[in-house]
Chain A
């Protein structure tokens, strides 16, 4: 299996551990991830908020690069990158006028995009293409007794993932970790918003969202949260002290990227999963995994 890989800007900074562990998991499974050469920012919510055509154009530059490289599937790990790239892809296919306008822009830099690339989320690829049975067979450290709260956040399936999972109640990560032996807790808030970029522009609103999520995690009895988006992971993990200061709580809940916990189950060395890059210590969770 070979895929083109779009790491996204966070992979170079706050979300470094996601990138490192995603590559480690794929290497372990024999999935070849070829980083899209010279990829640029997907545009994120910022470009959509300021410029419509430009947001599609810079997003489509990535699709054009992938198409020119001969890739059929472009994998994103960040929910937001996935949504922006998949949305650009879909809107260009829905609107021939938009596709023409975007291609006129791309022509200025000697590029074009016909629309042959499929944008996919790594979690979906692991479950759909690699398969749960094959994944279970590769597990060397079964997560028996580990209670996991899969946190999907907003843009995992919303609005682009309706073809492969549910908008409101996705189960891709539930199935993945069940196959690895973990116990999935009931976590009704699993697709509620973490506040995203609002953590900087309206901290009170975002801290309330994180507080409500963390309270729900605590109530669920989970040992660990697994996240599939760098912004979700960052807000839910690194802002726990701020939530505690504001709400008088004492949350100290381990949050890992799903690729970190999956990688551990698959037998990767914790060093190769950047476990030491977490702000809330999570070594106790891994120590609880039966040898």
Chain B
């Protein structure tokens, strides 16, 4: 994990976050957060988080975005959208979590032990290759590289699923798989690189 050491680096990340959020549909509603905590109270994983979603917004306002990215919070968001539908100010908190995940990946600010970023990467690799996600390929890659202990733990279940015809070994590529790669290359070329 890279470290944000200087004030300028922190300020830069704060500004990028701000700019990205403001460009999202209804993103400016973040200004109306009144710190009521409905988000944290609704979150099924808040009990495991270093900072609940309410504190994420408070920390961002205090210029402490690095504090959030250092912690486990964003990687525990399951995208259940409970906070988003309950927020009385209409803030799309799940989208804020996605934005923070994107920043953490882009700037290589992943805390130790955060495996989700690898999962995300392998998922995208599968889609770029085949046009669709091949579940077995994704799981195998993830287990082999990130958590070899999962293999034996999941072997029995995997066999049951295979026996039930729910775990095909090979992927079929769609005709448009090349289009996915082209879209990816195009968006890559448009996006601003990390300074």
Residues of chain A touching chain B, judged by Cβ–Cβ distance below 8 Å, are: 9-10, 12-17, 38-41, 43-54, 57-58, 61, 83, 90-91, 94-95, 97-98, 105-106, 108-109, 111, 154-155, 158-159, 162, 167-168, 192-193, 195-198, 200-203, 205, 209, 238-239, 241-242, 276-279
Contacts and interface: CB of A to CB of B under 8 A. Distances in A.
B26 A198 contact: no
18 contacts: A13-B134, A13-B166, A17-B166, A40-B127, A41-B132, A44-B133, A49-B117, A52-B98, A61-B179, A95-B24, A98-B25, A105-B186, A108-B182, A109-B183, A158-B81, A158-B85, A239-B157, A242-B153
A50 B120 contact: yes
Contact of B102 (A52, A111, A195): A52
Contact residue range for chain B?
Answer: 35 or more
A17 B164 CA distance: 10
B195 interface: no
Interface stretch (B5-13, B50-58, B135-143): B135-143
A168 B85 contact: yes
Contacts of A162: 85
Contacts of B153: 242
Given A50-B105, A54-B183, A168-B85, A201 B165 contact: no
B112 interface: no
Contacts of B148: none
Given A45-B79, A108-B183, A154-B80, A50 B102 contact: yes
A50 B101 contact: yes
Contacts of B102: 49-52
Contact of A159 (B44, B85, B136, B166): B85
Contacts of B92: 159
B187 A16 contact: no
What is the predominant secondary structure among interface residues of chain B facing chain A?
helix
A23 B24 CA distance: 37
A158 B80 contact: yes
Contacts of A200: 115, 119, 139, 142-143, 147, 150
B164 A279 contact: yes
Nearest to B176: A38
Rank and list the top 4 A-B pairs by shortest CB-CB distance, nearest first. Answer: A46-B123, A154-B80, A94-B25, A193-B80
Interface stretch (B28-36, B63-71, B167-175): B167-175
B98 A49 contact: yes
A201 B105 contact: no
Given A40-B127, A238-B160, A238-B161, A50 B121 contact: yes
Nearest to A14: B166
Interface in B53-94: 75-76, 78-82, 84-85, 92, 94
Contacts of B84: 158-159
B174 A39 contact: yes
Contacts of A14: 135, 161, 166-167
A240 to B, nearest CB: 10
B166 A108 contact: no
A205 B82 contact: no
Contacts of B177: 40
Given A95-B25, A192-B44, 6 more contacts: A14-B135, A49-B116, A61-B176, A95-B24, A197-B116, A200-B143
B45 interface: yes
A40 B180 contact: yes
B120 A49 contact: yes
